[in-house]
Amino acid sequence: MSENFGSPSSIQPLSIGNVVSAAVRLYRSHLKTYLKLALIAHLWIIVPIYGWAKCAAISGLISRLAFRELIYQPESVQTASSHVNPRLWSFLRVGFQVGISLLVIYLGLAIAGGVVGGLLGVVLGGILGVSAAIIGTIIGAIVMVVILVLGLTWFYSRWVVAELPLAVEENINGGESVARSWELTKASVLRIQGVVLIAFFVTLPLVFVLNYIPQLFLIKLEQGSTIYWIVYFISLIGSLVGGVFVMPFWQALKAVLYFDLRSRREGLGLQLREPPLQDFR
């Protein structure tokens, strides 16, 4: 890009395309390191509690490594780990806090969307007759899905960088890290929603092939049969591989968003921005 990023007055938010592109470039340029960490993180998932904390911490580690690249101060995995590992349980707390919050919001939105969709079907049916009621039901279902998608992505966008402050900043705990994400994203929600949706569609083909297609085969197989367990095992391996490939991309994406938000709001590392941004924009 030709823009000059040498002064605060010239700082402009990265576009949706630039954020996704920067994440892809970070991912590709550190593919081996990020994939190795993602594999270790996913293997830890099988260990309850402590393993989940390790997985959350390693995902934060990937984001820290990506962020340090963006500010032109790269770290080794060992150096970054020395900052992340002491905060192991705080990363778990962030994951649970955001996960439970999104679950509660999902249930609330599902109820609200169901009520709105149902009322729409009843009203149209009462006014225009039975045939219109069917159309109204379909429209209501569409309205429910729209409410769910827009509502969930709005709230997720407010917490999308929830683990980044914990991974990057000093003297901060899990609860403060979540609150920091909420504060940083408050003026950029619609743009972040766009980033999240585009990133979802970018990763969807890989997730569909490795995670969902094997699940479809299981539906037609007799549970408990030999072929069922073979396909089930293939499905697990596919899910693992899909998760390993997708995690680093999302963590790099979060690092780019966090970098962009802090740069514009706080003038983060202005003297360091020009070299990396010429590469990643």
SS3 sequence, the chain? CCCCCCCHHHCCCCCHHHHHHHHHHHHHHCHHHHHHHHHHHHHHCCCCCHHHHHHHHHHHHHHHHHHHHHCCCCCCHHHHHHHHHHHHHHHHHHHHHHHHHHHHHHHHHHHHHHHHHHHHHHHHHHHHCHHHHHHHHHHHHHHHHHHHHHHHHHHHHHHCCCCHHHHHCCCCCHHHHHHHHHHHCCCCHHHHHHHHHHHHHHHHHHHHHHHHHHHHHHHCCCCCCHHHHHHHHHHHHHHHHHHHHHHHHHHHHHHHHHHHHHHHHHCCCHHHHHHHHHHHC
Q: Give the mean pLDDT of 244-259.
A: 96
Query: What is the pLDDT confidence band of residue 219, given thresholds at 50, 70 and 90?
Result: confident
Model confidence at 224: pLDDT above 80: no
Tell me the average pLDDT of the chain. 84
Residue 99's CB: how many other CB atoms inside 10 A? 11
Q: For residue 214, what are the contacts with CB-CB under 8 A and spacing of at least 6? A: 231, 234, 235, 238, 239
Integer Cα distance of 167 and 177 in angstroms: 9
Mean pLDDT on 150-167 = 95
Confidence of residue 22 (pLDDT cuts 50, 70, 90): very high
pLDDT digits (tens, 9 = 90+) for 26-79: 999 999 999 999 999 999 999 999 999 999 999 999 999 999 999 999 999 999
Nearest alpha carbon to residue 193 among 145, 146, 158: 158
pLDDT band, very low/low/confident/very high, at 130 (cuts 50, 70, 90): low
User: Closest Cα partner for 212 from 199, 224, 203?
Assistant: 203
Torsion of CA 14, 94, 57, 159, to 10 degrees: -10
Enumerate residues 6+ apart whose C-beta is below 8 A from 59: 38, 41, 91, 163, 247, 251
Across 13-34, average pLDDT:
92
pLDDT-based confidence at residue 183 (cuts at 50, 70, 90)? very high
Instruction: Show me where the domains of the chain are located.
Output: 14-276
- The mean pLDDT value for 143-158 works out to 89
* Least confident stretch, 83-87, 158-162, 205-209, 255-259: 205-209
